[in-house]
Structure 1
Amino acid sequence: MLLTEVIEHVEIAFRAHLSYKIAHKYGALGYRNPDNFRNSDYHAEFLKKLDTSLEDSKDHFVLHHHVHYNKQFPVWVAFEVLTFSNLSMLFRNLLLVDQKHITRTYYRNLDYGQISNWLHGLTIVRNRCAHYSRLFNTAMPVGIGFRVIDRNKDIRSNELFAIIFNTKYLLTNRTVWSNWVTRLEALIGEYPEVEAGYLGFTEDWYALLTT
């Protein structure tokens, strides 16, 4: 599905950013220390989900660490089995200083709170796509925030287009984004009977996504 493709680009990049930050600041197993996160209960829930995924995984790199490293998984291995939802949860629970550092390093001119909100929105869309749930003519369960410079644009915060619009800030590879928007335009043009307004698209949606 076209939408999940662009979400995957965001997911892969964010997985790398989180792994790199945690490994360099806290060490290979630093993700297991609750002192490196805001909320110990959230961290315990995160580890529970992660350990279940590692235990169930049949990937060769995971089995290798089971056998040869006594189930000690460095962050760059462990995070490969994380779902996008768990990555989003992890970012929300990072210490504030680490959230700010990742934002400042990879997503300039953005706010860490905005990124957390947008990741949450993307996980909702990703899950709905995975379960073939409805996106058309339905409100999102979370309101999407906007940068100050975008708040005067006529974009409804609880509809799909709000999430798509802000994804352009999370996908830093402009060539990938431009090609994706071109494909999106072609797809919408292929089905003129579908009213894109029911997905929150505005009349000037293409210009909003490309400027």
Structure 2
Amino acid sequence: MRTRAGHLYFGGEAMSCSLRSLNSFPKPPLTIEEQIELLRQRKLIIENEEFAKEVLNSVSYYRLSGYTLSLRAGNLFHEGVTFRSVYQIYEFDRKLRHLLLGVIEVVEIALRTQIANHMALKYGALGYLNSSYFRDPLFHQEFLLELQKQIKNTKNKELFIRHYIEKYNGKFPIWAAVEIFSLGMLSKFFKNLKIEDQKAISRGYYDFPPQYLVSWIHALVTLRNICAHYGRLYNRTFTITPKLSKEIKKLGFLDDRLFTYIFILKYLIRSRKKWISFSTNLQAIIAEYKDEVDISLVGFPCNWYEILLS
């Protein structure tokens, strides 16, 4: 979107707007004091107004309101709900995002490594540029264009990219190229590998069929993007659901809630030590906020800790 002299441009088309129409949104902006008064009118208990002001000056009213969905009926809060309890739920969500980003990083780097090792040893350093080694040659060519854009956008930020441009005329061996891939690109790349290559990577390192790895990495792209952009995890329904085996489905948890995403991570983290560390840290966060947080709203069953470590 671009603006110019009272006009809004969407996708190249101009929408003429008078200055009056720009200020005619049905919900007027509110000062921090007015926001607090509105929350009081909606039956939210404000125990400490200075604390509420401090929070609302650093976390927007709109962002915070997403964490109140389970605490109210319509616009009115349930009896006894306090501002501090809403903020505690927000803090739980923030710490949970941070914890998940760390473990997703482990998954992403391991998958980069497995793909690079397999492709290099089977097809050579630059074999990944050959469309005949992929299921859909056209999709592969589109992927290479996306890679070139990524290189162009990051060449001034990453020393190793400039190194390959200057010394090797812009030729990136697969072990360097995967370091440029985003998790989304990594997901696309793996999905387009021939089935025998998918099997070699999935069964060789992860010890489960490739169709699960394709689905799970795709799901983790969604989760990673939500976490990286500070999106809400609490009380969220996910539209991308990971593929689950019949045995996993028998456990009975909802596949469109966060716990399913966390559950599949236990198959993607090959280090038992790292997985125990993650699960213990997760347990600590839940224990810290147990009085305010309803873990069923993120899909956690009562015996979630035992399930993750079984």
Fold conserved between structures, TM > 0.5:
yes
Residue in structure 1 matched with residue 133 of structure 2 by the alignment: 36
CA distance in 2, matches of 1:185, 1:64: 44
Offset of residue 136 of structure 1: 1.6
What do the CA deviations read for 1:137-175 (whole angstroms, capped 9, x no partner)?
121111222233222101111111101101100110010
Question: Displaced runs of 4+ in structure 1, greater than 4 A?
Answer: none
The answer for the alignment partner of 2:117 in structure 1 is 20
Separation (CA, whole Å) in 2 of partners of 1:148 and 1:172? 22
Residue number in structure 2 paired with 1:128: 226
**TM-score of the superposed pair, with normalisation by structure 2:** 0.66
- Residue pair 1:54, 1:78 contacting (<8 A) in 2 also: no
Matched, 1:190 2:288: yes
> In structure 2, what is the Cα distance between the partners aligned to 1:21 and 1:99?
10
Query: In the alignment, residue 31 of structure 1 is paired with which amino acid?
Result: Y
Between the aligned partners of 2:103 and 2:176, the Cα distance in structure 1 is 23
Shift of 1:104: 1.6
Q: Which has the higher contact order (CA 8 A, sep 6+)?
A: 1
Offset, 1:45: 2.1
Question: Counterpart in 2 of 1:62?
Answer: 161
- Give the counterpart of 1:113 among 184, 187, 211: 211
Q: Tell me which protein shows more helix as a share of its residues.
A: 1
Q: For structure 1, which runs of at least 5 residues remain unmatched after alignment? A: none
**2:256 corresponding residue in structure 1:** 158
Query: Does structure 2 conserve the Cα–Cα contact (< 8 Å) formed by 1:28 and 1:75?
Result: yes
Instruction: Measure the CA separation in 1 of the matches of 2:112 and 2:287.
Output: 33
Q: Counterpart of 1:173?
A: 271
Q: Which of 85, 105, 122 matches 1:8? A: 105
Residue identity in the other structure for 1:112: P
More strand by share: 2
Question: Partners in 2 of 1:198 and 1:116 — Cα distance?
Answer: 27
Pairwise CA distance, 1:87: 0.5
SS at match of 1:80: coil
User: How large is the RMSD of aligned CA atoms in angstroms?
Assistant: 1.0
Alignment of 1:50-89 (within 5 A): 50-57=147-154, 58-89=157-188
User: What is the number of residues matched between the two proteins?
Assistant: 210
